[in-house]
């Protein structure tokens, strides 16, 4: 008889358990792990420790303290051994998780791979200090083992020199997203999902069923939720907005760029859209309503109304000082727009041009005399050609009175082109 070093959860579940004195006999049903890290340092691996085992004894469920038990492997297979049998109560335990109930056969996010995976098995390691969950198995190999086909197919493929590979994800690199377990793991402010780029997280959430999608999205903080919502496909955006309380949905839309919020509201039923617009703050609501007035093929329908403007009488040094003081979003100052004291659009310069300019020179001396502009009622179809011809990152959008209404970013055109290809 030898003490096992590593084993899979599937190796032990359903096996018979008999106490040393034979007074307790049953079937192993699940393992309870403590998620509290031994070392809370951020660079230390997370290794949940097994603290209890569930044994089905007839009609009764017995929870046994695992500290006095041991995992062994002999000719009869895998089993639990131990001389002292003590039952424990889980009623007051916190930060714990049943492996089979909460992880096995459920979806998790592979944080490094940035995608959803289904868990077919859990790998554990037995050490002198205890038994720990170290990884989940999501590969074809574990799927075959689950259906008792692994050995058959393994031997068959061996004849052709093909080897079955296992795909495992370390515990540190997963996050549970199934509805049954998300309340436990996603309620933490340090959720691993927060480390993902909003675009990656949007892709993951879109792949979830609707109930889980709503729950996972609701677990995000407001700023992250707004960023993720912007990256989602229109049908998923509509589902999320319709699933949230009106005040919560309105708060998220206020945090988004007005053009992005307008795109979402335009997809909603008229009654729902009006409720949201009334719930939003007056300024945000007014901006969105103005954008909704444009036809879908007009530049104004996709322009961003958040832009940074300076007057032409400022020096370069004064302009940079004002930017530092205002602390606008970085995206909004890649291009600096310049207007007159009467609010007429004059020109635009890049932030790089402003940084390298003589600090004492006024913006009126630095700015190009004939900037590229488009009207808010111009056709969207011409924008791609303008961006390409003049090698621009953004284009100012003006009205017939030569006042600036917004700007169009090159990424807006790329998104529009990609969306057009998807719908062909």
pLDDT tens digits for range 358-401: 999 999 999 998 899 999 999 998 898 999 899 888 899 999 99
Q: Round to whole Å and give the CA distance between 80 and 29.
A: 12
- pLDDT surpassing 50 at residue 193: yes
- End-to-end Cα, the chain, rounded Å: 65
Residue 286 CB neighbours (<10 A): 13
Dist. CA 81–CA 271, nearest whole Å: 65
What's the confidence (pLDDT) of residue 43? 66
The CATH homologous superfamily to which domain 197-293 belongs is MgtE N-terminal domain-like (1.25.60.10)
Is the predicted pLDDT of residue 186 greater than 50, yes or no? no
Which of 190-199, 287-296, 355-364, 376-385 has the least mean pLDDT? 190-199
Kindly report whether the global pTM for this prediction surpasses the value 0.85: no
Alpha-carbon dihedral sign for residues 249, 250, 255, 261:
positive
Domain boundaries defined on the chain: 2-172, 197-293, 309-422
Backbone φ and ψ for 116, nearest 5 degrees, come out as -80, 145
Residue 386, φ and ψ in degrees, nearest 5:
-70, -45
Predicted local confidence at residue 415, as pLDDT: 64
Better pLDDT: 326 or 194: 326
Q: Please state which of the ranges 93-102, 163-172, 301-310, 398-407 shows the lowest mean pLDDT.
A: 163-172
State yes or no: pLDDT of 4 exceeds 80: no
Which pLDDT score is estimated for 247?
93
For the chain, give the mean pLDDT: 82
Share of the chain above pLDDT 90, in %: 35
Residue predicted with more confidence, 96 or 180: 96
For residue 108, the cross-strand partners are 117, 176
pLDDT value, residue 41: 67
Question: Same fold for the domain at 197-293 and the one at 309-422?
Answer: no
User: What is the number of other CB atoms lying within 10 angstroms of the CB of residue 233?
Assistant: 13
CA pair distance 313, 315, nearest whole angstrom: 7
* 155 pLDDT higher than 60: no
Distances (CA, A) of 56 to 53, 64, 78, 83, 273: 10, 11, 17, 19, 53
pLDDT of residue 162: 45
> What is 309-422's CATH topology?
CBS-domain (3.10.580)
Q: Which residue has the higher pLDDT, 128 or 269?
A: 269
Most confident of 116-120, 260-264, 333-337: 260-264
């Amino acid at each position: 008889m030898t003490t096992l070093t590593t084993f899979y959860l599937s190796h032990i579940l359903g096996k018979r358990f008999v106490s040393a004195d034979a007074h307790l006999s049953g079937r192993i049903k699940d393992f309870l792990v403590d998620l509290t890290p031994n070392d809370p340092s951020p660079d230390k691996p997370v290794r949940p420790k097994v603290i209890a085992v569930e044994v089905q004894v007839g009609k009764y469920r017995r929870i046994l303290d695992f500290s006095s038990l041991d995992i062994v492997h002999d000719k009869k297979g895998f089993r639990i051994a131990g001389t002292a049998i003590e039952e424990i109560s889980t009623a007051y335990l916190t930060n714990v998780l049943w492996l089979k109930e909460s992880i096995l056969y459920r979806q998790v996010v592979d944080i490094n791979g940035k995608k959803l995976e289904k868990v077919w098995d859990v790998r554990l390691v037995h050490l002198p200090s205890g038994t720990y969950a170290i990884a989940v198995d999501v590969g074809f190999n574990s799927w075959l083992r689950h259906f008792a086909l692994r050995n058959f197919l393994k031997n068959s493929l061996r004849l052709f020199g093909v080897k079955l590979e296992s795909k495992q994800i370390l515990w540190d690199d997963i996050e549970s997203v199934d509805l049954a377990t998300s309340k436990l793991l996603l309620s933490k402010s340090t959720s691993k999902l927060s480390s993902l780029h909003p675009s990656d997280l949007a892709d993951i959430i879109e792949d979830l069923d609707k109930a889980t999608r709503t729950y996972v999205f609701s677990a995000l903080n407001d700023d992250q939720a707004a960023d993720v919502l912007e990256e989602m496909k229109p049908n998923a955006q509509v589902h999320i907005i319709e699933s949230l309380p009106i005040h919560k949905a309105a708060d998220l839309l206020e945090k988004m760029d007005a053009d992005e919020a307008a795109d979402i509201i335009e997809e909603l039923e008229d009654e729902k859209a009006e409720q949201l617009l009334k719930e939003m703050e007056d300024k945000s609501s007014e901006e969105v309503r103005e954008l909704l007035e444009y036809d879908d093929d007009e530049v104004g329908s996709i322009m961003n109304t958040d832009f940074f403007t300076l007057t032409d009488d400022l020096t370069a040094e004064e302009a940079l000082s004002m930017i530092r003081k205002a602390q606008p979003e970085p995206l909004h100052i890649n291009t600096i727009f310049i207007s007159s004291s009467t609010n007429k659009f004059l020109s635009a310069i890049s932030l790089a041009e402003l940084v390298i300019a003589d600090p004492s020179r006024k913006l009126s001396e630095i700015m190009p005399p004939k900037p590229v502009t488009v009207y808010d009622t111009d056709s969207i179809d011409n924008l791609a050609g303008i961006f390409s011809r003049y090698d621009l990152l953004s284009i100012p959008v003006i009205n017939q009175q030569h006042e600036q209404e917004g700007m169009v970013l090159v990424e807006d055109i790329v998104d529009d082109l990609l969306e057009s290809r998807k719908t062909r």
